[in-house]
């Protein structure tokens, strides 16, 4: 597949938004990315979103955003793979450009979750699980992750507090990100004292329900936008069984592992070449499993990397460099684009206090469902 | 964009399905298409669907179908553009193959609407309109089409009965389609006596809420499957404003017109070259507007073509050759794939009693919302 370039990026603050609708948030991010690229209207619009039809009573969000942004008579679609919808939309845009059909595209990831009562959002999130085999029996999405975490603790002998450093690191990084939902640090004590949600997952293990939108303009050729160029050198997507009960591995994210290996192979690179890893820390158990699946440590050793400080900005593999899902926030359909926008900021050298040192290659991995839909990308500073 | 080939097709009967779930319907269609192609597992799965998250409490239908069909560790996504979701998914698969990233893909369009109470389905269908500007004020989707029809009748002087021949033709063709929802003929009298739904749209102007799934295997190269080869020689998608009130044209489907013109231009062909037209007759007003937008007659003359018999199988431009949305049925996210499957049957020369004579080129046009998201394809018999 031909190389594709990131020509513009935009993001709104992740928040509980009372003064902007889903359309306005997505529009703001889209306009920022278009202004950043400075090429006028791209050829098409791709929107990653999970739950607008339930949370906002709005289907065909792609068409709505094309209308709102003034994409007159251009194509627009919505793409959905639960929590990996954002990067799945990005990947579709990549292929559409590589096909020669488009020269440029705007990709928006957007979600507005806080307009709905908590029970409705819990129900909407549960649709990411297998309706017949999981959700219909009352398993919530956090419940599924709790099963994974409990099993992982049993298999590898970790205690709940051993996961604290994933969240502490995410909050520490979010302190310097003006777009992050939570810009305050947390400690091991506050982690331990946090209220239980679904044993063993407590509030500090979990990413927050949020509103937000992020956007990227992709082009078939490099453009001059005043920033260091960034290109996409690997794109790999894979699925696993939707239900946890059918997985061959009790805890390991085998589709994430295979997707990461495929991406490394496409780029001709190894894990140690990566200058940062925007991982999918929707829950602290997912942070541990993602580190392992992406080849940064052996199965069962994720928490040790966090405890040893090997995931900090200036360490072995900086993760969640702008706060991650845990502290930047997790507006589900937008998250994949936030990851890619943040990785681009790092490769452009514009990540401020959180700037990583080796800003040549960035790995992003977005996970839909409990490890069932994986989208992995590697970006390169030109 | 490189030419892409239709290697396999499958479809379930359109019905009110009590013994098969959404997953089973979609799986049956997918397996039929895979058996027809005979190339084993394609490289990826694309699902077109509008309302699984509301009607079936299931997001990431792409992942679920990859799981159900045994696409181990392969990519899968869901694509949504309201009623044009099926052909939007088909177009994404086309571009993914043309990019070189995939050599083959399975595209499934699926919808199961009849498990939900009528008011819930009406609410789900209304999400295809603009939530803030239309649906929130109580406008249903049929209500929007009624506004369009009323205005069209006012502008061009047609009476309600003048639309009857669209529905009569659809039912006449569906009599010979074992997969059609309604296999009985209707008459001008039954059309006139049919109960009013949303004045001037009565029951015989409207396509039925239905369950169904259709599927296509696409390949980068022609394969030998025992049938006449069929390729995709044009693919064009365009959006218009989501809300009717913002349209420049009172009734004309300008995005559909531009999309059709672009497709003709891509193929180097004209309307009169088409051997059939699978149009989007969700309502009889859409049948009239589609004929006009696709260049088969001037604005306001759609009903005359139907009255003059120029849309029948053996006439100027055969439409809805297997019953169309009106009589084959309209499981919304599946409809675009049904259209493409039926066009393929015609180009293979396998349309039985409904076989058109000039089976060289087929035009399909799928419409999401009230003319807001258009996907047009031209298929060619090799």
What pLDDT does A376 receive?
Answer: 98
Neighbouring C-alpha atoms within 13 Å toward the C-beta of B102: 32
Q: Name the burial class of residue A248, with classes exposed (0-12), middle (13-18) and buried (19+) by CB atoms within 10 angstroms of its CB.
A: exposed
Chain A neighbors of B82, CB-CB under 8 A: 59-60, 63
Look at residue A248 and tell me whether its pLDDT is greater than 90: no
Q: Are B82 and B208 in contact (CB under 8 A)?
A: no
Which pair of structure tokens corresponds to residue A228?
């260091």
Phi, psi of A131 (to 5 degrees): -60, -50
Read off the pLDDT of each residue in A44-66 and give the average, rounded to a whole number.
97
What pLDDT does A302 receive?
Answer: 98
In A, minimum Cα distance to B373 occurs at A63
What pLDDT does B199 receive?
Answer: 97
Q: Which of A63, A96, A97 has the CB atom closest to B372's CB atom?
A: A63
When computed from its CA atoms, the radius of gyration of chain B, rounded to whole angstroms, is 19
Q: How far is B115 from chain A (nearest CA, A)?
A: 14
Is A377 a catalytic site residue?
no
Look at residue A1 and tell me whether its pLDDT is greater than 90: no
What pLDDT does A249 receive?
Answer: 80
- Report how far apart, in Å, the C-alpha atoms of A75 and of each of A66, B80, B105, B236, B374 are: 8, 13, 21, 8, 8
DSSP type of residue A324: I
Phi, psi of B204 (to 5 degrees): -85, -5
A80 and B82 within 8 Å at the Cβ level: the answer is no
Topology (CATH) of A4-117+210-219: Peroxisomal Thiolase; Chain A, domain 1 (3.40.47)
Other residues' Cβ atoms within 10 Å of the Cβ of residue B245 = 9
What is the helix (H) or strand (E) element at residue A9, kind and residue range? strand A4-11
What pLDDT does B248 receive?
Answer: 84
Give bridge partners of residue B217 from the DSSP assignment: B8, B106
| CB–CB contacts below 8 A, A to B | 214
pLDDT in tens, A324-349: 999 999 999 999 999 999 999 999 99
Which pair of structure tokens corresponds to residue A124?
């909407």
Q: How far is A23 from chain B (nearest CA, A)?
A: 10
Residue in A60, A74, A76, A107 to test binding to B, most B beta-carbons within 10 Å: A60
What pLDDT does B11 receive?
Answer: 98
Q: Which of B64, B75, B132 has the CB atom closest to A237's CB atom?
A: B75
Chain A neighbors of B2, CB-CB under 8 A: 99-100
Residue among A160, A280, A330, A377 flagged as catalytic: A330
What pLDDT does B91 receive?
Answer: 98
Q: Give 3-state DSSP helix, strand, coil % of chain A, rounded to 5.
A: 40, 20, 40
Residues 6+ apart with CB under 8 A from A19: none
Which residue numbers in chain B have pLDDT < 50? none
* Homologous superfamily of the B137-207+229-381 domain (CATH): Thiolase/Chalcone synthase (3.40.47.10)
Which pair of structure tokens corresponds to residue A229?
């160029």
Helix/strand/coil for B361: strand
Helices (H), B103-163: 118-126, 141-156
B80 and A78 within 8 Å at the Cβ level: the answer is yes
A246 and B59 within 8 Å at the Cβ level: the answer is no
What pLDDT does B354 receive?
Answer: 98
DSSP type of residue A325: I
What pLDDT does A373 receive?
Answer: 98
Q: Which of B78, B135, B238 has the CB atom closest to A80's CB atom?
A: B78
Q: How far is B9 from chain A (nearest CA, A)?
A: 23
Q: Name the burial class of residue A224, with classes exposed (0-12), middle (13-18) and buried (19+) by CB atoms within 10 angstroms of its CB.
A: exposed
Other residues' Cβ atoms within 10 Å of the Cβ of residue A194 = 17
Look at residue A250 and tell me whether its pLDDT is greater than 90: no
Phi, psi of A87 (to 5 degrees): -75, -20
What number does CATH give the domain A130-207+231-381? Answer: 3.40.47.10
Question: What is the average pLDDT value for chain A, to the nearest integer?
Answer: 97
Residue in A24, A54, A77, A101 to test binding to B, most B beta-carbons within 10 Å: A77
Q: How many helices (H) and strands (E) does chain A have?
A: 12, 11
Helix/strand/coil for A58: coil
pLDDT in tens, A344-367: 999 999 999 999 999 999 999 999
Residue in B68, B69, B77 to test binding to A, most A beta-carbons within 10 Å: B77
B131 and A58 within 8 Å at the Cβ level: the answer is yes
Distance CA A369, CA B58 (A): 11
In A, minimum Cα distance to B88 occurs at A77
Distance CA B279, CA B292 (A): 11
Look at residue A254 and tell me whether its pLDDT is greater than 90: yes
When computed from its CA atoms, the radius of gyration of chain A, rounded to whole angstroms, is 19
Tell me if domain B4-117+210-219 and domain B137-207+229-381 are identical in fold: yes
Q: Compute, in degrees rounded to 10, the torsion defined by CA atoms B203, B207, B211, B215.
A: 170
Residue A311: band (very low, low, confident or very high) from pLDDT cuts 50, 70, 90: very high
Q: Are A81 and B78 in contact (CB under 8 A)?
A: yes
Q: Which of A56, A75, A99 has the CB atom closest to B237's CB atom?
A: A75
Q: Are A86 and A366 in contact (CB under 8 A)?
A: yes
Neighbouring C-alpha atoms within 13 Å toward the C-beta of B79: 31
Q: Are A109 and A335 in contact (CB under 8 A)?
A: yes
Strands (E) located in chain B = 4-11, 45-48, 76-80, 104-112, 196-198, 201-202, 211-219, 230-239, 276-278, 361-368, 373-381
Q: Are B80 and A59 in contact (CB under 8 A)?
A: yes
Q: Return the domain boundaries, chain A.
A: 4-117+210-219, 130-207+231-381
Phi, psi of B8 (to 5 degrees): -160, 150
pLDDT in tens, A145-200: 999 999 999 999 999 999 999 999 999 999 999 999 999 999 999 999 999 999 99
Which pair of structure tokens corresponds to residue A344?
């681009």
Residue A134: band (very low, low, confident or very high) from pLDDT cuts 50, 70, 90: very high
Is A297 a catalytic site residue?
no
Helix/strand/coil for A319: strand
A92 and B88 within 8 Å at the Cβ level: the answer is no
B100 and A1 within 8 Å at the Cβ level: the answer is yes
Phi, psi of A280 (to 5 degrees): -100, 75
Helix/strand/coil for A82: coil
In A, minimum Cα distance to B69 occurs at A241
Read off the pLDDT of each residue in A96-115 and give the average, rounded to a whole number.
97
What pLDDT does B2 receive?
Answer: 87
Contacts 24+ apart (CB under 8 A), B196-200: B197/B142, B197/B146, B198/B140, B198/B142, B198/B143, B198/B145, B198/B146, B199/B146, B199/B150, B200/B146, B200/B149, B200/B150, B200/B153, B200/B160
Look at residue A271 and tell me whether its pLDDT is greater than 90: yes
Neighbouring C-alpha atoms within 13 Å toward the C-beta of A192: 6
Q: Which of B223, B207, B199, B228 is nearest to B111 (CA)?
A: B207
């Amino acid at each position: 597949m031909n190389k594709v370039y990131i020509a513009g990026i935009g993001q709104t603050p992740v928040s509980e938004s009372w003064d902007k609708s889903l359309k306005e948030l997505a529009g703001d991010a889209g306009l920022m990315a278009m202004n950043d690229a400075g090429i006028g209207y791209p050829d098409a619009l791709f929107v990653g979103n999970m739950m607008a039809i339930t949370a906002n009573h709005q289907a065909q969000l792609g068409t709505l955003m094309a209308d709102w942004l003034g994409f007159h008579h251009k194509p627009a679609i919505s793409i959905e793979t639960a929590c990996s919808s954002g990067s799945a939309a990005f990947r579709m845009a990549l292929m559409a450009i590589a096909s020669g059909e488009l020269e440029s595209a705007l990709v928006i990831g957007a979600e507005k979750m806080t307009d709905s009562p908590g029970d409705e959002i819990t129900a909407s999130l549960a649709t990411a699980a297998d309706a017949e085999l999981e959700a219909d029996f009352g398993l919530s999405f956090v419940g599924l992750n709790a099963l994974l975490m409990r099993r992982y603790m049993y298999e590898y002998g970790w205690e709940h507090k051993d996961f604290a450093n994933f969240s502490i690191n995410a909050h520490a990084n979010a302190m310097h990100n003006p777009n992050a939902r939570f810009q305050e640090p947390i400690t091991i004590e506050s982690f331990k004292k946090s209220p239980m949600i679904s044993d063993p997952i407590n509030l500090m293990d979990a990413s927050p329900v949020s509103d937000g939108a992020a956007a990227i303009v992709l082009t078939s050729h490099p453009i001059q936008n005043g920033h260091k160029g960034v290109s996409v050198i690997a794109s790999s997507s894979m699925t696993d069984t939707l239900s946890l009960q059918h997985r061959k591995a009790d805890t390991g994210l085998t589709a994430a592992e295979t997707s990461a290996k495929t991406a490394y192979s496409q780029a001709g690179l190894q894990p140690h070449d990566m200058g940062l890893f925007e991982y999918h820390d929707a829950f602290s158990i997912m942070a541990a499993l993602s580190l392992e699946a992406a080849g940064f440590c052996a199965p069962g050793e994720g928490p040790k990397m966090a405890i040893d400080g090997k995931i900090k900005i200036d360490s072995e593999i900086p993760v969640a460099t702008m706060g991650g899902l845990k502290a930047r926030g997790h507006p589900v359909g937008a998250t994949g684009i936030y990851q890619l926008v943040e990785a681009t900021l790092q490769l452009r050298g514009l990540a401020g206090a959180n700037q990583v040192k080796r800003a040549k290659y960035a790995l992003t991995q977005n996970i839909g469902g409990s490890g069932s839909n994986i989208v992995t990308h590697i970006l390169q500073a030109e």
